[in-house]
Amino acid sequence: MDLADIQHAIEELPKEQQATLAAWITERDQAEWDAEIERDFAPGGAGIAVIEEMKTDARDGRFRPFAEGRPAKG
């Protein structure tokens, strides 16, 4: 069965079952996203370097609260 067959089969489902399938796919995608974020921000993860850079920027005064907006160019 290829993707076109699956798409055709989905189109043949009653709307209620299509909605249930869509919700299942959304939950599955969200769970994968959550797992990726957890991996990225666990010790040794790719996101840790970003956090450390942000901490350094804040400590060295290279930080602006969002409420102040972007710095002026020039």
Q: Are 33 and 27 in contact (CB under 8 A)?
A: no
Please give the Cα distance from 72 to 10 (Å, whole number).
Answer: 51
Question: What's the CA gap between 38 and 44, in Å, rounded?
Answer: 11
- Residue 44 located in a structural domain: yes
Check residue 64 and report its DSSP letter. Answer: -
Residue 21 falls inside a structural domain = yes
* 41, 47 Cβ separation under 8 angstroms: yes
Question: Residue 6 domain-assigned?
Answer: no
Average the pLDDT over 1-20 and give the result: 97
* Range of the structural domain that residue 23 is part of: 15-60
In this predicted structure, what is the pLDDT of residue 74? 58
Least confident of 6-15, 43-52, 60-69: 60-69
- What does residue 64 show for φ and ψ, rounded to 5 degrees? -130, 130
Please report whether residue 3 resides in a domain: no
User: For 27-56, how does the pLDDT look when each residue is reduced to its tens digit (9 = 90+)?
Assistant: 999 999 999 999 999 998 999 999 999 889
The count of domains in the chain is 1
- Examine residue 72 and state whether it is found in any structural domain, yes or no: no
